[in-house]
Structure 1
Amino acid sequence: MTRSSASSDPRRVIVVTGAASGIGRGTMLHFAALGWRVVGLDLDGEGLAELAAMLPRSDALTVLCDVGRESQVRRAFARIAAWTDGIDCLVNNAGIADPYCGPLDKLALADWQRWIDASLTAAFLCSREALGLLRARDGASIVHVASTRALQSEPESFAYAAAKGGLCSLTHAMAVSLGPELRVNAVLPGWIETGPWQSGDRRREPAQSEQDKAQHPVGRVGEVRDIAETIAWLADAGFVTGQQIVVDGGMTRKMIYAQ
Protein backbone atom coordinates (compact mmCIF):
# COMPACT_ATOMS: atom_id res chain seq x y z
CA MET A 1 0.00 0.00 0.00
CA THR A 2 1.24 3.50 -0.80
CA ARG A 3 -0.18 6.92 -0.11
CA SER A 4 0.21 10.22 -1.95
CA SER A 5 1.29 11.97 1.24
CA ALA A 6 2.89 10.82 4.47
CA SER A 7 0.53 9.75 7.23
CA SER A 8 0.38 11.84 10.40
CA ASP A 9 -1.04 8.89 12.36
CA PRO A 10 0.29 9.32 15.92
CA ARG A 11 0.82 5.60 16.46
CA ARG A 12 4.38 4.32 16.55
CA VAL A 13 6.02 2.91 13.44
CA ILE A 14 8.61 0.16 13.16
CA VAL A 15 10.63 -0.78 10.07
CA VAL A 16 12.02 -4.33 9.92
CA THR A 17 14.45 -5.63 7.30
CA GLY A 18 14.48 -9.31 6.44
CA ALA A 19 10.78 -9.23 7.30
CA ALA A 20 9.44 -12.01 5.08
CA SER A 21 10.39 -14.91 7.35
CA GLY A 22 12.02 -16.00 10.59
CA ILE A 23 12.79 -13.41 13.24
CA GLY A 24 11.74 -10.59 10.93
CA ARG A 25 8.28 -12.03 10.30
CA GLY A 26 7.76 -12.76 13.99
CA THR A 27 8.83 -9.23 14.92
CA MET A 28 6.42 -7.69 12.42
CA LEU A 29 3.48 -9.68 13.78
CA HIS A 30 4.49 -9.04 17.40
CA PHE A 31 4.60 -5.27 16.95
CA ALA A 32 1.38 -5.26 14.93
CA ALA A 33 -0.29 -7.03 17.86
CA LEU A 34 1.07 -4.29 20.16
CA GLY A 35 -0.70 -1.67 18.03
CA TRP A 36 2.30 -0.38 16.07
CA ARG A 37 2.17 0.39 12.36
CA VAL A 38 4.67 -1.88 10.65
CA VAL A 39 6.89 -1.72 7.57
CA GLY A 40 8.71 -4.78 6.23
CA LEU A 41 11.55 -4.91 3.69
CA ASP A 42 12.76 -8.10 2.02
CA LEU A 43 13.85 -9.45 -1.36
CA ASP A 44 11.50 -12.45 -1.01
CA GLY A 45 8.39 -11.24 -2.82
CA GLU A 46 6.38 -14.39 -2.14
CA GLY A 47 7.18 -14.24 1.56
CA LEU A 48 6.29 -10.55 1.73
CA ALA A 49 2.93 -11.19 0.06
CA GLU A 50 2.21 -13.96 2.56
CA LEU A 51 3.16 -11.65 5.43
CA ALA A 52 1.06 -8.77 4.11
CA ALA A 53 -2.00 -11.04 4.11
CA MET A 54 -1.52 -11.54 7.87
CA LEU A 55 -1.50 -7.82 8.65
CA PRO A 56 -4.12 -5.04 8.64
CA ARG A 57 -3.76 -3.40 5.23
CA SER A 58 -4.12 0.16 6.50
CA ASP A 59 -1.44 -0.29 9.16
CA ALA A 60 1.22 -2.21 7.24
CA LEU A 61 3.52 -1.60 4.30
CA THR A 62 5.72 -4.21 2.64
CA VAL A 63 8.46 -3.21 0.22
CA LEU A 64 10.45 -5.51 -2.07
CA CYS A 65 14.08 -4.50 -1.53
CA ASP A 66 17.58 -5.95 -1.53
CA VAL A 67 18.85 -4.01 1.47
CA GLY A 68 22.46 -4.61 0.51
CA ARG A 69 22.04 -2.44 -2.62
CA GLU A 70 22.22 1.32 -2.20
CA SER A 71 19.84 2.27 -5.00
CA GLN A 72 17.14 -0.12 -3.80
CA VAL A 73 17.43 1.09 -0.21
CA ARG A 74 17.05 4.69 -1.33
CA ARG A 75 13.90 3.85 -3.31
CA ALA A 76 12.48 1.84 -0.42
CA PHE A 77 12.89 4.64 2.10
CA ALA A 78 11.44 7.17 -0.31
CA ARG A 79 8.37 4.96 -0.43
CA ILE A 80 8.33 4.70 3.37
CA ALA A 81 8.58 8.50 3.67
CA ALA A 82 5.50 8.78 1.45
CA TRP A 83 3.64 6.43 3.82
CA THR A 84 4.64 7.84 7.21
CA ASP A 85 6.08 11.05 8.59
CA GLY A 86 8.35 9.31 11.07
CA ILE A 87 9.87 6.04 12.29
CA ASP A 88 10.12 5.09 15.97
CA CYS A 89 12.27 1.98 15.56
CA LEU A 90 14.42 0.55 12.77
CA VAL A 91 15.32 -3.13 13.09
CA ASN A 92 18.25 -4.17 10.90
CA ASN A 93 17.53 -7.88 10.84
CA ALA A 94 18.37 -8.87 7.26
CA GLY A 95 21.17 -11.32 6.61
CA ILE A 96 22.10 -14.70 5.16
CA ALA A 97 20.78 -17.31 7.56
CA ASP A 98 23.29 -20.04 6.72
CA PRO A 99 26.56 -19.25 8.55
CA TYR A 100 28.73 -21.87 6.84
CA CYS A 101 30.95 -20.76 3.97
CA GLY A 102 33.39 -23.66 3.70
CA PRO A 103 37.20 -23.70 4.05
CA LEU A 104 38.94 -20.33 4.16
CA ASP A 105 41.25 -21.16 1.25
CA LYS A 106 38.21 -21.86 -0.95
CA LEU A 107 36.14 -18.83 0.07
CA ALA A 108 35.70 -16.54 -2.95
CA LEU A 109 35.77 -12.80 -2.38
CA ALA A 110 32.33 -12.47 -4.00
CA ASP A 111 30.87 -14.97 -1.54
CA TRP A 112 32.54 -13.24 1.41
CA GLN A 113 31.05 -9.95 0.21
CA ARG A 114 27.54 -11.45 0.02
CA TRP A 115 27.56 -12.19 3.76
CA ILE A 116 29.00 -8.77 4.60
CA ASP A 117 26.55 -6.88 2.38
CA ALA A 118 23.48 -8.81 3.55
CA SER A 119 24.04 -7.86 7.22
CA LEU A 120 26.63 -5.16 7.80
CA THR A 121 26.41 -3.06 4.63
CA ALA A 122 22.62 -3.35 4.74
CA ALA A 123 22.51 -2.03 8.30
CA PHE A 124 24.66 0.94 7.33
CA LEU A 125 22.57 1.75 4.24
CA CYS A 126 19.20 1.41 5.96
CA SER A 127 20.29 3.36 9.04
CA ARG A 128 21.63 6.19 6.89
CA GLU A 129 18.47 6.43 4.82
CA ALA A 130 16.22 6.22 7.89
CA LEU A 131 17.89 9.01 9.87
CA GLY A 132 15.53 11.80 8.85
CA LEU A 133 12.43 9.75 9.66
CA LEU A 134 13.92 8.55 12.96
CA ARG A 135 14.87 12.08 14.02
CA ALA A 136 11.28 13.17 13.37
CA ARG A 137 10.16 11.11 16.40
CA ASP A 138 11.13 11.61 20.05
CA GLY A 139 12.79 8.58 21.62
CA ALA A 140 13.42 6.72 18.36
CA SER A 141 15.98 3.94 18.22
CA ILE A 142 17.78 1.45 16.01
CA VAL A 143 18.20 -2.24 16.83
CA HIS A 144 20.73 -4.37 14.95
CA VAL A 145 20.09 -8.11 15.01
CA ALA A 146 23.55 -9.66 15.31
CA SER A 147 24.30 -13.16 16.65
CA THR A 148 26.11 -14.97 19.44
CA ARG A 149 28.51 -15.97 16.67
CA ALA A 150 29.88 -12.45 17.05
CA LEU A 151 31.25 -13.72 20.39
CA GLN A 152 32.11 -17.34 19.62
CA SER A 153 32.45 -19.40 16.47
CA GLU A 154 31.89 -22.74 14.82
CA PRO A 155 34.25 -23.95 12.07
CA GLU A 156 34.02 -22.36 8.63
CA SER A 157 31.73 -19.47 9.51
CA PHE A 158 34.25 -16.68 8.82
CA ALA A 159 32.12 -14.29 6.78
CA TYR A 160 28.99 -14.68 8.92
CA ALA A 161 30.94 -14.12 12.15
CA ALA A 162 32.70 -11.09 10.67
CA ALA A 163 29.40 -9.56 9.51
CA LYS A 164 27.72 -10.06 12.89
CA GLY A 165 30.79 -8.87 14.79
CA GLY A 166 30.82 -5.79 12.60
CA LEU A 167 27.21 -5.10 13.58
CA CYS A 168 28.21 -5.11 17.24
CA SER A 169 30.98 -2.58 16.62
CA LEU A 170 28.69 -0.49 14.44
CA THR A 171 26.22 -0.46 17.34
CA HIS A 172 28.45 1.34 19.83
CA ALA A 173 29.92 3.62 17.16
CA MET A 174 26.45 4.73 16.10
CA ALA A 175 25.20 5.06 19.68
CA VAL A 176 28.01 7.47 20.53
CA SER A 177 27.63 9.47 17.32
CA LEU A 178 23.83 9.63 17.04
CA GLY A 179 22.96 10.23 20.69
CA PRO A 180 21.25 11.84 22.42
CA GLU A 181 18.69 12.05 19.60
CA LEU A 182 18.75 8.33 18.83
CA ARG A 183 19.58 5.19 20.76
CA VAL A 184 21.28 2.23 19.05
CA ASN A 185 21.48 -1.30 20.45
CA ALA A 186 22.14 -4.84 19.25
CA VAL A 187 20.36 -8.10 20.00
CA LEU A 188 22.51 -11.23 19.77
CA PRO A 189 20.23 -14.26 19.29
CA GLY A 190 21.49 -17.73 20.06
CA TRP A 191 19.75 -20.86 18.80
CA ILE A 192 16.32 -19.60 17.72
CA GLU A 193 13.80 -21.99 16.17
CA THR A 194 12.50 -20.18 13.09
CA GLY A 195 10.95 -23.15 11.26
CA PRO A 196 7.31 -22.19 11.97
CA TRP A 197 8.02 -18.63 10.81
CA GLN A 198 9.33 -19.46 7.34
CA SER A 199 7.34 -18.72 4.20
CA GLY A 200 5.67 -21.13 1.81
CA ASP A 201 7.02 -24.66 1.54
CA ARG A 202 10.02 -23.81 3.74
CA ARG A 203 7.81 -23.76 6.83
CA ARG A 204 8.46 -26.67 9.20
CA GLU A 205 7.59 -27.76 12.69
CA PRO A 206 10.32 -27.82 15.37
CA ALA A 207 12.11 -31.16 15.86
CA GLN A 208 14.41 -30.64 18.82
CA SER A 209 15.86 -33.43 20.90
CA GLU A 210 16.16 -33.43 24.66
CA GLN A 211 19.91 -32.99 24.17
CA ASP A 212 19.24 -29.85 22.12
CA LYS A 213 17.15 -28.43 24.94
CA ALA A 214 19.66 -29.47 27.60
CA GLN A 215 22.36 -27.31 26.01
CA HIS A 216 20.42 -24.31 27.32
CA PRO A 217 20.30 -23.56 31.07
CA VAL A 218 16.68 -22.41 30.62
CA GLY A 219 15.81 -25.89 29.33
CA ARG A 220 14.62 -25.05 25.82
CA VAL A 221 15.68 -23.74 22.44
CA GLY A 222 14.85 -20.09 21.75
CA GLU A 223 11.67 -18.95 20.03
CA VAL A 224 11.13 -16.02 17.68
CA ARG A 225 8.99 -14.30 20.33
CA ASP A 226 12.05 -14.18 22.62
CA ILE A 227 13.78 -11.87 20.15
CA ALA A 228 10.67 -9.85 19.31
CA GLU A 229 10.02 -9.22 23.02
CA THR A 230 13.62 -8.08 23.52
CA ILE A 231 13.33 -5.65 20.60
CA ALA A 232 10.08 -4.32 22.07
CA TRP A 233 11.82 -3.77 25.43
CA LEU A 234 14.71 -1.95 23.75
CA ALA A 235 12.27 0.28 21.87
CA ASP A 236 11.10 1.62 25.24
CA ALA A 237 14.35 1.38 27.25
CA GLY A 238 15.22 5.08 27.21
CA PHE A 239 18.42 4.74 29.26
CA VAL A 240 19.88 1.84 27.24
CA THR A 241 22.13 2.54 24.27
CA GLY A 242 25.29 1.10 22.73
CA GLN A 243 24.57 -2.30 24.27
CA GLN A 244 24.77 -5.89 23.07
CA ILE A 245 21.91 -7.92 24.55
CA VAL A 246 22.59 -11.67 24.36
CA VAL A 247 19.36 -13.69 24.09
CA ASP A 248 20.44 -17.32 24.06
CA GLY A 249 18.91 -19.09 27.06
CA GLY A 250 22.34 -19.07 28.69
CA MET A 251 23.88 -21.31 26.04
CA THR A 252 27.05 -19.23 25.67
CA ARG A 253 27.58 -19.45 29.45
CA LYS A 254 27.45 -23.24 29.63
CA MET A 255 30.58 -25.33 29.10
CA ILE A 256 29.75 -28.27 26.84
CA TYR A 257 32.21 -31.15 26.64
CA ALA A 258 32.59 -33.70 23.84
CA GLN A 259 30.89 -37.01 24.63
Structure 2
Amino acid sequence: MVTGAGSGIGRSVALAFAGAGWSLALAGRRADALEETASLAGGADVLCVPTDITSPEAVTALFTAARERFRRVDLLFNNAGTFGPGGVHLEDLPHEAWRHVVDVNLTGSFLCAQAAFRVMKGQDPQGGRIINNGSISAHAPRPHSVAYTATKHAVTGLTKSLSLDGRPYRIACGQIDIGNAATEMTARMETGVLQADGRTAPEPVMDVDDVARTVLHMAELPLEANVQFATVMSTTMPYIGRG
Protein backbone atom coordinates (compact mmCIF):
# COMPACT_ATOMS: atom_id res chain seq x y z
CA MET A 1 0.00 0.00 0.00
CA VAL A 2 1.29 3.43 -0.99
CA THR A 3 -0.31 6.64 0.28
CA GLY A 4 0.12 9.86 -1.65
CA ALA A 5 0.46 7.67 -4.75
CA GLY A 6 -0.95 10.14 -7.25
CA SER A 7 2.25 12.09 -7.85
CA GLY A 8 5.88 12.68 -6.90
CA ILE A 9 7.63 10.24 -4.61
CA GLY A 10 4.49 8.16 -4.09
CA ARG A 11 4.00 7.60 -7.81
CA SER A 12 7.66 6.78 -8.40
CA VAL A 13 7.69 4.28 -5.52
CA ALA A 14 4.44 2.68 -6.71
CA LEU A 15 5.87 2.17 -10.20
CA ALA A 16 9.07 0.68 -8.78
CA PHE A 17 7.00 -1.83 -6.81
CA ALA A 18 4.88 -2.61 -9.85
CA GLY A 19 8.03 -3.31 -11.84
CA ALA A 20 9.19 -5.70 -9.12
CA GLY A 21 5.97 -7.70 -9.29
CA TRP A 22 4.07 -6.37 -6.26
CA SER A 23 0.30 -5.95 -6.17
CA LEU A 24 -0.60 -2.39 -5.24
CA ALA A 25 -3.21 -0.55 -3.24
CA LEU A 26 -2.87 3.14 -4.13
CA ALA A 27 -4.30 5.83 -1.86
CA GLY A 28 -4.53 9.55 -2.43
CA ARG A 29 -6.94 12.45 -2.52
CA ARG A 30 -7.63 12.52 -6.27
CA ALA A 31 -9.06 9.54 -8.14
CA ASP A 32 -7.80 10.81 -11.51
CA ALA A 33 -4.21 11.05 -10.28
CA LEU A 34 -4.35 7.55 -8.81
CA GLU A 35 -5.76 6.17 -12.07
CA GLU A 36 -2.94 7.86 -13.97
CA THR A 37 -0.40 6.15 -11.72
CA ALA A 38 -2.19 2.83 -12.26
CA SER A 39 -2.09 3.34 -16.04
CA LEU A 40 1.70 3.59 -15.86
CA ALA A 41 2.08 0.42 -13.79
CA GLY A 42 2.62 -1.91 -16.73
CA GLY A 43 -0.18 -4.36 -16.11
CA ALA A 44 0.39 -4.78 -12.37
CA ASP A 45 -2.58 -5.70 -10.17
CA VAL A 46 -3.58 -2.26 -8.88
CA LEU A 47 -6.40 -1.10 -6.62
CA CYS A 48 -7.06 2.66 -6.48
CA VAL A 49 -8.81 3.98 -3.37
CA PRO A 50 -9.36 7.75 -3.12
CA THR A 51 -8.72 8.43 0.57
CA ASP A 52 -8.57 11.29 3.04
CA ILE A 53 -5.95 9.90 5.41
CA THR A 54 -6.96 12.38 8.13
CA SER A 55 -10.29 10.56 8.46
CA PRO A 56 -10.33 7.38 10.61
CA GLU A 57 -13.36 6.13 8.69
CA ALA A 58 -11.69 6.67 5.31
CA VAL A 59 -8.52 4.90 6.45
CA THR A 60 -10.55 1.95 7.75
CA ALA A 61 -12.32 1.76 4.39
CA LEU A 62 -8.95 1.84 2.58
CA PHE A 63 -7.57 -1.13 4.49
CA THR A 64 -10.85 -3.02 4.23
CA ALA A 65 -10.77 -2.61 0.45
CA ALA A 66 -7.14 -3.77 0.30
CA ARG A 67 -7.88 -6.87 2.37
CA GLU A 68 -10.91 -7.74 0.29
CA ARG A 69 -8.89 -7.44 -2.92
CA PHE A 70 -5.55 -8.94 -1.88
CA ARG A 71 -6.45 -10.84 1.33
CA ARG A 72 -3.50 -9.31 3.22
CA VAL A 73 -1.28 -6.21 3.51
CA ASP A 74 2.46 -6.89 3.57
CA LEU A 75 3.74 -3.34 3.26
CA LEU A 76 2.59 0.20 4.01
CA PHE A 77 4.61 3.08 2.56
CA ASN A 78 3.34 5.96 4.69
CA ASN A 79 4.16 8.67 2.19
CA ALA A 80 1.32 11.21 1.99
CA GLY A 81 2.29 14.62 3.30
CA THR A 82 2.10 18.36 2.83
CA PHE A 83 4.50 21.24 3.43
CA GLY A 84 1.84 23.83 4.16
CA PRO A 85 2.03 27.49 3.17
CA GLY A 86 5.54 28.46 2.13
CA GLY A 87 7.40 31.57 3.23
CA VAL A 88 5.09 32.34 6.16
CA HIS A 89 6.79 33.62 9.31
CA LEU A 90 6.05 31.64 12.44
CA GLU A 91 4.13 34.46 14.08
CA ASP A 92 1.88 34.78 11.02
CA LEU A 93 1.10 31.08 10.50
CA PRO A 94 -2.69 30.60 10.71
CA HIS A 95 -3.92 28.05 13.21
CA GLU A 96 -5.84 26.30 10.43
CA ALA A 97 -2.65 25.89 8.38
CA TRP A 98 -0.79 24.43 11.37
CA ARG A 99 -3.62 21.98 12.04
CA HIS A 100 -3.79 20.91 8.41
CA VAL A 101 -0.09 20.02 8.27
CA VAL A 102 -0.29 18.16 11.60
CA ASP A 103 -3.44 16.33 10.52
CA VAL A 104 -1.93 15.10 7.24
CA ASN A 105 1.72 14.48 8.15
CA LEU A 106 1.35 13.13 11.67
CA THR A 107 -2.24 12.09 12.36
CA GLY A 108 -2.64 10.63 8.88
CA SER A 109 0.56 8.62 9.23
CA PHE A 110 -0.58 7.38 12.64
CA LEU A 111 -4.03 6.36 11.40
CA CYS A 112 -2.58 4.41 8.48
CA ALA A 113 0.00 2.73 10.72
CA GLN A 114 -2.67 1.86 13.26
CA ALA A 115 -4.84 0.27 10.57
CA ALA A 116 -1.82 -1.59 9.19
CA PHE A 117 -1.06 -2.97 12.67
CA ARG A 118 -4.59 -4.30 12.99
CA VAL A 119 -4.35 -6.10 9.66
CA MET A 120 -0.77 -7.34 10.03
CA LYS A 121 -1.33 -8.73 13.53
CA GLY A 122 -4.34 -10.74 12.39
CA GLN A 123 -3.17 -12.12 9.06
CA ASP A 124 -1.54 -15.52 8.52
CA PRO A 125 1.43 -15.56 8.16
CA GLN A 126 1.51 -12.78 10.73
CA GLY A 127 3.46 -9.57 10.22
CA GLY A 128 4.46 -7.01 7.63
CA ARG A 129 6.47 -3.83 7.20
CA ILE A 130 5.78 -0.10 7.53
CA ILE A 131 8.08 2.46 5.93
CA ASN A 132 7.47 6.06 6.98
CA ASN A 133 8.47 8.95 4.75
CA GLY A 134 10.34 11.35 7.02
CA SER A 135 12.46 14.16 5.62
CA ILE A 136 15.79 15.90 5.96
CA SER A 137 13.63 18.22 8.05
CA ALA A 138 13.41 15.43 10.63
CA HIS A 139 17.04 16.41 11.38
CA ALA A 140 17.41 20.08 10.39
CA PRO A 141 14.74 22.68 9.57
CA ARG A 142 14.48 25.14 6.74
CA PRO A 143 13.51 28.74 7.53
CA HIS A 144 9.77 29.29 7.99
CA SER A 145 8.86 25.60 8.13
CA VAL A 146 7.74 25.14 11.74
CA ALA A 147 4.69 22.97 11.05
CA TYR A 148 6.39 20.71 8.52
CA THR A 149 9.55 20.38 10.59
CA ALA A 150 7.68 19.66 13.82
CA THR A 151 5.63 16.92 12.16
CA LYS A 152 8.65 15.30 10.55
CA HIS A 153 10.44 15.21 13.91
CA ALA A 154 7.28 13.61 15.29
CA VAL A 155 7.27 11.02 12.51
CA THR A 156 10.68 9.88 13.77
CA GLY A 157 9.12 9.25 17.19
CA LEU A 158 6.26 7.44 15.51
CA THR A 159 8.73 5.22 13.65
CA LYS A 160 10.57 4.29 16.83
CA SER A 161 7.36 3.49 18.69
CA LEU A 162 6.00 1.40 15.82
CA SER A 163 9.28 -0.50 15.64
CA LEU A 164 9.12 -1.34 19.33
CA ASP A 165 5.42 -2.13 19.48
CA GLY A 166 5.60 -4.25 16.33
CA ARG A 167 8.27 -6.63 17.56
CA PRO A 168 5.94 -9.25 19.09
CA TYR A 169 3.94 -9.45 15.83
CA ARG A 170 6.74 -9.54 13.19
CA ILE A 171 5.90 -5.99 12.14
CA ALA A 172 9.05 -4.13 11.10
CA CYS A 173 9.11 -0.34 10.77
CA GLY A 174 11.72 1.91 9.19
CA GLN A 175 11.97 5.47 7.95
CA ILE A 176 13.41 7.08 4.86
CA ASP A 177 14.50 10.72 5.15
CA ILE A 178 14.63 12.33 1.72
CA GLY A 179 16.44 15.47 0.65
CA ASN A 180 15.75 17.32 -2.60
CA ALA A 181 14.21 14.61 -4.76
CA ALA A 182 13.09 16.18 -8.02
CA THR A 183 9.26 16.36 -7.84
CA GLU A 184 6.60 19.00 -8.34
CA MET A 185 6.97 19.90 -4.66
CA THR A 186 10.70 20.66 -5.00
CA ALA A 187 10.68 22.34 -8.42
CA ARG A 188 11.51 25.69 -6.83
CA MET A 189 14.80 24.31 -5.46
CA GLU A 190 16.62 24.76 -8.76
CA THR A 191 15.59 28.40 -9.12
CA GLY A 192 16.35 29.48 -5.56
CA VAL A 193 15.11 28.91 -2.02
CA LEU A 194 15.71 30.75 1.25
CA GLN A 195 18.79 29.58 3.17
CA ALA A 196 19.49 29.73 6.90
CA ASP A 197 21.78 32.76 6.47
CA GLY A 198 19.08 34.77 4.71
CA ARG A 199 20.37 34.26 1.17
CA THR A 200 18.23 32.86 -1.61
CA ALA A 201 20.18 30.26 -3.53
CA PRO A 202 19.49 27.38 -5.94
CA GLU A 203 19.94 23.85 -4.60
CA PRO A 204 20.82 20.61 -6.38
CA VAL A 205 18.19 17.90 -6.74
CA MET A 206 18.35 14.17 -7.40
CA ASP A 207 16.27 11.79 -9.50
CA VAL A 208 13.17 10.65 -7.62
CA ASP A 209 13.71 7.14 -8.98
CA ASP A 210 16.77 6.87 -6.72
CA VAL A 211 14.40 7.26 -3.78
CA ALA A 212 12.08 4.60 -5.20
CA ARG A 213 14.91 2.08 -5.51
CA THR A 214 15.86 2.68 -1.89
CA VAL A 215 12.31 2.16 -0.64
CA LEU A 216 12.05 -1.04 -2.71
CA HIS A 217 15.27 -2.35 -1.16
CA MET A 218 13.95 -1.63 2.34
CA ALA A 219 10.66 -3.34 1.51
CA GLU A 220 12.16 -6.51 0.07
CA LEU A 221 14.29 -7.38 3.07
CA PRO A 222 13.11 -10.38 5.09
CA LEU A 223 11.18 -9.37 8.21
CA GLU A 224 14.15 -10.52 10.29
CA ALA A 225 16.11 -7.55 8.89
CA ASN A 226 15.22 -3.86 8.91
CA VAL A 227 16.61 -0.58 7.63
CA GLN A 228 15.67 1.50 10.67
CA PHE A 229 16.63 4.88 9.20
CA ALA A 230 17.93 5.75 5.76
CA THR A 231 18.84 9.21 4.46
CA VAL A 232 18.78 9.65 0.68
CA MET A 233 19.67 13.10 -0.57
CA SER A 234 21.22 15.08 -3.35
CA THR A 235 24.94 14.68 -2.70
CA THR A 236 25.79 18.39 -2.55
CA MET A 237 22.64 19.87 -1.01
CA PRO A 238 23.24 22.20 1.97
CA TYR A 239 22.78 19.77 4.83
CA ILE A 240 26.08 18.21 5.91
CA GLY A 241 28.49 20.70 7.45
CA ARG A 242 27.81 24.27 6.43
CA GLY A 243 26.46 23.56 2.96
Using the size of structure 1 for normalisation, the TM-score is 0.79
Q: Is the Cα contact below 8 Å between 2:2 and 2:14 reproduced in 1? A: yes
Aligned residue identity for 1:159: A
CA shift at 1:242, angstroms?
7.4
Partner of 1:223: 207
Deviations 1:88-147 (A, max 9, x none): 110000011457361122222221111011111111101111224334245621000010
Change (3 A) 1:193 1:208: farther
Answering whether residue 166 of structure 2 is matched by residue 178 of structure 1, we say yes
Q: 1:192 aligns with which of 142, 156, 181?
A: 181
Give distance in 2, aligned partners of 1:207 and 1:104. Answer: 25
Q: 1:233 aligns with which of 217, 225, 231?
A: 217
Partner of 1:165: 153
Structure 2 unaligned spans of 5+: 193-201
Change (3 A) 1:25 1:41: same
Answering whether residue 240 of structure 2 is matched by residue 253 of structure 1, we say yes
Give distance in 1, aligned partners of 2:85 and 2:162. Answer: 25
Q: Is the Cα contact below 8 Å between 1:149 and 1:161 reproduced in 2? A: yes
Give distance in 2, aligned partners of 1:228 and 1:99. Answer: 26
Aligned residue identity for 2:221: A
More displaced 10-residue stretch of structure 1: 33-42 or 236-245: 236-245
Structure 1 unaligned spans of 5+: 1-14, 199-203, 214-220
CA shift at 1:177, angstroms?
1.0
Give distance in 2, aligned partners of 1:141 and 1:99. Answer: 32
Count of residues in correspondence between the two structures: 227
CA shift at 1:45, angstroms?
2.0
Give distance in 1, aligned partners of 2:94 and 2:35. Answer: 33
Deviations 1:166-224 (A, max 9, x none): 111110111011114111011000000014xx9xxxxx8x9679x644xxxxxxx2221
Q: How does 1:14-163 map to 2 (within 5 A)?
A: 15-55=1-41, 59-98=45-84, 100=86, 102-135=88-121, 136=123, 137=125, 140-163=128-151
**After the TM superposition, which parts of structure 1 deviate over 3 Å for at least 4 consecutive aligned residues?**
206-209, 237-242
Q: Is the Cα contact below 8 Å between 1:42 and 1:48 reproduced in 2? A: yes
SS, match of residue 143 in structure 1 = strand
SS, match of residue 222 in structure 1 = coil
Give distance in 2, aligned partners of 1:241 and 1:99. Answer: 35
More displaced 10-residue stretch of structure 1: 104-113 or 154-163: 104-113
Aligned residue identity for 2:213: E
SS, match of residue 192 in structure 1 = coil
Q: CA RMSD in A?
A: 2.5
Deviations 1:12-37 (A, max 9, x none): xxx00000000000011110000111
SS, match of residue 116 in structure 1 = helix
Give distance in 1, aligned partners of 2:210 and 2:220. Answer: 16
Change (3 A) 1:116 1:72: same
Give distance in 2, aligned partners of 1:133 and 1:149. Answer: 30
Give distance in 1, aligned partners of 2:111 and 2:128. Answer: 18
Q: Is the Cα contact below 8 Å between 1:144 and 1:187 reproduced in 2? A: yes
Q: 1:244 aligns with which of 229, 234, 241?
A: 229
